[in-house]
Structure 1
Amino acid sequence: MLEIFTILLFLILLSKLVESKINIPFILVIIIFAFMANYFLDLSFLKDSFYEIMYLMLPIILIPDVLGLSTDELKENTSGIFYLAVVAVIVSIAIAVVFTYKINFFKNLEFFHLLLLFTPLMATDVVSVSAIFSKFKIPHKLKLYAEGESLFNDITAMVIFFFIAIPLSQGDDLTAAFLATLTLKIIVFSIAIGVTAGLIGYYLFNISQEYFCKFIVVYLMASVCFLISDELRLSGILSVVIAVIFFKYLFNKGGHYKNKNAVALLLSLTTQEGNLNFRAYIKESQYIGFFANAVIFISIATVIELESLWRYKAEILYVFILTTVIRYLVLSLFIIYKKYPLRWLNILTLGGMKGGLALIMIVSLNDKFVYKEMLVTIVLGVVILSIFIYTILLIIYLFFEKDDLKLDKATEYNIIVKDIKDLLKKEPYTGAYNEIIFEELVEKEISRAQRYNQQFLLVGFQADKSSAKNINNMIRKSDYFGKIDFKYYAVLLPNTSLDDIMQYTKRVQKIIGKNRISIAQYSIGDTKTILYEKLLSGFKHKNKIGIEV
């Protein structure tokens, strides 16, 4: 086992170094290296324990993805995500199964066999999508749709696979009423388990005194609710998603509720530890989630058998092309209805990479199932093709569309520009950079701070244009002045610590009067998103100057 662990660490480190040097996506590099390593080193443990490893890592990779979601944004875009994650999945499966059955492409497969084949392939991989999108300036709503779809369509696919496709393959008689009742039961009880786990997890988090204990509570919460739901033949993924979302909701509320109810009564027993900064745990979960994802991709590489893939090459290509075309058609209805640009359709289509969850489903088939070897090979082949072909095409497409995507992002910020050059223009009178350019400056400063181990600060405030102009006139040449949204301005202060800032904030306070000031200090591992969350959180402090470290 120590040898396996050492090999894993080495492959992850090597792949990350290659990614940083030649900018090839990590998932492609690690699959290639792991496949090559499997020929020279003994990685049979990963292959033999593939199903167990996938299930072990699944709750772990979900935690950072769910923690990164905004509940407010999910509420605002519920209809869009519901279509992508539920309606689109069901329609895509139906079209793929009926079309293939009608043309009799698989001559020996019955209708329910095709349902077993196509259902896992409608579950997309949120990790691959997030990793690629992080390298480009993507409109926030487009990113939300892609990641929301990838997170929630897993639930739809797993419910259909385990509770409809498998029972049909076993000869069970499923009526419409039974399916409706079963689906309702799965959703309701999975949510109930998730809410209960989230509440207990929050309570344990607050009574835990040590940082390590708090950290373990989050993973224990996710693992336990996934295990319980799985044992009760419910949706473990849905339970984990609900548990983490509810936990995060309670944490953000900090135990302070205007209405007295059962939840508030229980939370009143907790300490004030719940009001501590939660961002440190998010950063740690991202590191552990990254490791878990790397293990999944390495495990996928170990089960690749070129001889088997070549034997079913025609079937793999057919399924890959068919699922791609269907995805494009189904998503086009959504894009047309929402009146989004055509490039969003192309990006969402190529964002449909398959991953470990598809393999978890298909590998779970009974070993006595006569077509298991064929279905597993086809699904594996499509997963590999989608990872490599979709990823490469998506990167190329995003590169050529980067300017238009920036203009789409400008529209989200209500920035009126005619072409990409207009984005470089500063705000009239105040001289502030717009939100997009300021974000780029912050991200460059993060890279520089990481490389040279330096500190920097963001100082945010609300001011009228006259006051904003006065503040811009007093900044240093090395500082940057810009907008973070329609409401707030901010100053980026490179190579500056909290010890250096207090005199500066007093001068800003004189200019803006009673308005609050927020100071966000960069810490190792902070992303632009985390820094902005710090800045916005600082405005909620009781003091006029809120400091978030």
Structure 2
Amino acid sequence: MLLEVPILIGLMVAAIALAIAAKRASVPYNVALVLGGLLISVAHLLPGVPPLNPQVVFLICLPLLLFEGGITADLNGIRANAVPIGLLSTLGMILAIGATGAALHWMLHLAWGPALLLGSILAVTDTVSILYAFRRAPVPGRLAGIIQGESLFNDGTALVAYTAIAAVVAGGAAPTLGSLGGHVLLASVGGAVVGLAMGLLGGFIIRRAEDPLAEIMVTTAVALASYVLAEEVHLSGAISAVVAGLAVGVTLRREVPPQSQVAIHSFWEYATFGVNTFLFLSVGLDTRPEALQGHLPGVGIAVVAVVLGRAVAIYLPFLLLRLFKPAETIPLRWQHVFLVGNIKGALSIGLALGLPESTPAREQIVSIAFGVTLVSMVGQGLMLTSALKALGLFQQDAVALEMAGQRGKLIASRAAHVELDALHTQGLLPRAAYEHLRSEYQVNIARAERELRRISEQHLAEGAKDLLSMRRRLIDAERTALQGARRNGLIPEATAEEMLAHLDARMLDLEKVLHGGHPSKDSKEHKAS
């Protein structure tokens, strides 16, 4: 897919405008991009945008997103929840494909092969949307960890199943559950082995690079190579990319200097933001309402089939977990979240578009995949927060909200006080009015300061967290000043690099403490020095 420069600039401008609008309207960013892309497509605002190329999704976007998910994942959380994550991403995914395919076969009268193929396409969750939503949603930590872990690993299972079913459908034979399960198991385990080997190799090189830019290049190469290598030997490239990311993430946290950690994570944060923007816009841009009109009943039926299939894939494995491993039991309210949060995305569309032209019922499969994805991303994306609140899982910190409210009052009152002084100095305000208003705002400032002090004293943990957040802003100010001094030649390059490395170590420790971790040994040495 080649984009001309004017079209590329137009898409970037659209993405920026949609991001700002989403922020102002309190709409999820991914939903705004999908709707914006659909509007651009319908109104023909950017003619000449090429269709989404499945190879771009599979060979570039998916490896980068899964690898980033791996290096930023909480490995301890994945280990602690390995049983439910593994159960959902293997047995759960096979059940989802089978149940969804069966429902599509009976409700849409599709042949078993195309029905199961469409089931595998629609069983894939959108890793991007899941990670985006649950990294920010204030839900219980274990619930967020299981959902994020499942979203990382189930793509691998689904892609293996999709490949196997597509090959069987092309050959004209009906797939069997045994052959499908065996193929999924072999490809998943093999992909994990390839990913671990690539991740360990990448970690070995990173430890000896001692240059942040070279280390970023290594992580990028490992992300793409782990996926492609596994796919070349007919294993799961998705699982390979995730495991490689997990292995490299361990190396980054344990053996890489703070300055390199900050540089690598900043690069991957921007890279995934760009990829996410591209994918969400593409879903909207590639959706053709006129092509969906003839398949609207089928889309509605498929949405019901997907919900039924996901319900089987969630409640049955968790029932088995409760019967055979009670210590790992998942509360029923949490199980409902896996159903509501089953958002589809660009991967489903890429899988549908990647089907050969000779695939039976290809046009119907592609149209239904587009329709279900659009309904899922917009509908579920908008209702997710409300669903979490209805289930009592949206944990709003009352102390943090109270502190934020008092801080807002303090900021507003001080700004008004400054403006009041300026008006009085310019002679625009009579003395009596000035004194009256000045007294009023001083009372507001004093009251807000008193309340903030009271909250900090009564809730030491929240006060400490607030102090750490302020310290992080001060470190940013220090870094900006040092970089300016280096550019202007006020301090030598070597001195600036050393001082910036100390700041990166302090910033890294603040992030760890704010997220429940512990300061590193290196940082303590920096502070002592």
1:303-322 residue pairs with structure 2 within 5 A?
A: 303-322=286-305
Deviation at 1:244, TM superposition (A): 1.1
Please report the TM-score for the alignment, with normalisation by the length of structure 2.
0.74
Give me the whole-angstrom Cα distance separating, in 2, the residues matched to 1:42 and 1:395: 32
Q: Secondary structure at the match of 1:354?
A: coil
Q: In the superposition, relative to structure 1, how do residues 34 and 168 fare at CA in structure 2: closer, same or farther (>3 Å)?
A: closer
1:466-545 residue pairs with structure 2 within 5 A?
A: 477=453, 480=456, 492=467, 495-496=470-471, 497=474, 530-532=511-513, 536-538=517-519, 540-541=521-522, 543=524
Q: In the superposition, relative to structure 1, how do residues 162 and 498 fare at CA in structure 2: closer, same or farther (>3 Å)?
A: closer
Q: Indicate whether 1:111 and 2:112 are aligned.
A: yes
Structure 2 match to 1:368: 358
Q: Indicate whether 1:302 and 2:292 are aligned.
A: no
Deviation at 1:14, TM superposition (A): 0.9
Q: In the superposition, relative to structure 1, how do residues 477 and 159 fare at CA in structure 2: closer, same or farther (>3 Å)?
A: same
Structure 2 match to 1:201: 202
Give the greater-gyration-radius structure (CA): 2
Provide the aligned length of Structure 1 versus Structure 2: 449
1:132-151 residue pairs with structure 2 within 5 A?
A: 132-151=133-152
Q: Secondary structure at the match of 1:46?
A: coil
1:413-432 residue pairs with structure 2 within 5 A?
A: none
Structure 2 match to 1:73: 77
1:116-131 residue pairs with structure 2 within 5 A?
A: 116-131=117-132
Give me the whole-angstrom Cα distance separating, in 2, the residues matched to 1:89 and 1:176: 12
1:46-125 residue pairs with structure 2 within 5 A?
A: 46-47=50-51, 49=53, 51-53=55-57, 55-101=59-105, 103=106, 105-107=107-109, 109-125=110-126
Structure 2 match to 1:14: 17
Q: Secondary structure at the match of 1:365?
A: coil
Q: In the superposition, relative to structure 1, how do residues 130 and 478 fare at CA in structure 2: closer, same or farther (>3 Å)?
A: farther
Q: Deviations over 1:223-273 (max 9, x none)?
A: 11212222332211111111111112233342xxxxxxxxxxxxxxxxxx5
Q: Contact 2:34/2:281 (CA < 8 Å) preserved in 1? A: yes
Q: In the superposition, relative to structure 1, how do residues 406 and 52 fare at CA in structure 2: closer, same or farther (>3 Å)?
A: closer
Q: Secondary structure at the match of 1:61?
A: helix
Q: Contact 2:199/2:244 (CA < 8 Å) preserved in 1? A: yes
**What is the aligned counterpart of 2:39 among 36, 41, 44?**
36
Instruction: Please list every run of 5 or more consecutive structure 1 residues that lacks an aligned counterpart in the other structure.
Output: 255-272, 408-419, 425-436, 453-475, 502-520
Instruction: Please list every run of 5 or more consecutive structure 2 residues that lacks an aligned counterpart in the other structure.
Output: 323-327, 416-451, 479-501
Amino acid in the other structure paired with 1:75: R
Deviation at 1:96, TM superposition (A): 2.5
Q: In the superposition, relative to structure 1, how do residues 527 and 29 fare at CA in structure 2: closer, same or farther (>3 Å)?
A: farther
Give me the whole-angstrom Cα distance separating, in 2, the residues matched to 1:51 and 1:377: 19
Amino acid in the other structure paired with 1:248: G
Q: Deviations over 1:164-210 (max 9, x none)?
A: 34324413586777656644542343223212221222233233343
Amino acid in the other structure paired with 1:143: A
Structure 2 match to 1:26: 29
Give me the whole-angstrom Cα distance separating, in 1, the residues matched to 2:259 and 2:368: 48
Higher helix share: 2
Q: Contact 2:122/2:348 (CA < 8 Å) preserved in 1? A: yes
Q: In the superposition, relative to structure 1, how do residues 440 and 214 fare at CA in structure 2: closer, same or farther (>3 Å)?
A: farther
Deviation at 1:354, TM superposition (A): 0.5
Amino acid in the other structure paired with 2:123: M
Q: Secondary structure at the match of 2:521?
A: coil
1:114-513 residue pairs with structure 2 within 5 A?
A: 114-171=115-172, 182-254=183-255, 278-333=261-316, 337=322, 340-401=330-391, 405-406=394-395, 437=400, 477=453, 480=456, 492=467, 495-496=470-471, 497=474
Deviation at 1:364, TM superposition (A): 1.6
Give me the whole-angstrom Cα distance separating, in 1, the residues matched to 2:307 and 2:88: 15
Deviation at 1:352, TM superposition (A): 0.2
Give me the whole-angstrom Cα distance separating, in 2, the residues matched to 1:325 and 1:177: 22
Give me the whole-angstrom Cα distance separating, in 1, the residues matched to 2:401 and 2:39: 43
Q: In the superposition, relative to structure 1, how do residues 491 and 106 fare at CA in structure 2: closer, same or farther (>3 Å)?
A: closer
Give me the whole-angstrom Cα distance separating, in 1, the residues matched to 2:272 and 2:79: 25
The percentage of counterpart residues that share the same residue type is 19
Deviation at 1:322, TM superposition (A): 1.8
Amino acid in the other structure paired with 2:56: E
Please report the TM-score for the alignment, with normalisation by the length of structure 1.
0.71
Give me the whole-angstrom Cα distance separating, in 1, the residues matched to 2:16 and 2:39: 16
Q: Deviations over 1:91-150 (max 9, x none)?
A: 12222223443x3x333x321111111111111112212333345321111111221121
Q: In the superposition, relative to structure 1, how do residues 529 and 223 fare at CA in structure 2: closer, same or farther (>3 Å)?
A: farther
Give me the whole-angstrom Cα distance separating, in 2, the residues matched to 1:175 and 1:295: 37
Q: Secondary structure at the match of 2:59?
A: helix
- Mean alpha-carbon deviation: is it higher for 532-541 or for 112-121? 532-541
Amino acid in the other structure paired with 2:274: F
Q: In the superposition, relative to structure 1, how do residues 527 and 162 fare at CA in structure 2: closer, same or farther (>3 Å)?
A: farther
Give me the whole-angstrom Cα distance separating, in 1, the residues matched to 2:355 and 2:525: 60
Q: Supply the RMSD in Å over aligned alpha carbons.
A: 3.9
Give me the whole-angstrom Cα distance separating, in 1, the residues matched to 2:349 and 2:211: 38
Q: Secondary structure at the match of 1:538?
A: coil
Structure 2 match to 1:260: none
Q: Contact 2:196/2:243 (CA < 8 Å) preserved in 1? A: yes
Give me the whole-angstrom Cα distance separating, in 1, the residues matched to 2:236 and 2:258: 31
Structure 1 match to 2:6: 3
Deviation at 1:220, TM superposition (A): 1.1
Q: Deviations over 1:255-303 (max 9, x none)?
A: xxxxxxxxxxxxxxxxxx5676524422331221011011011111121
Q: Secondary structure at the match of 1:406?
A: coil
Higher strand share: 1
Amino acid in the other structure paired with 2:137: F
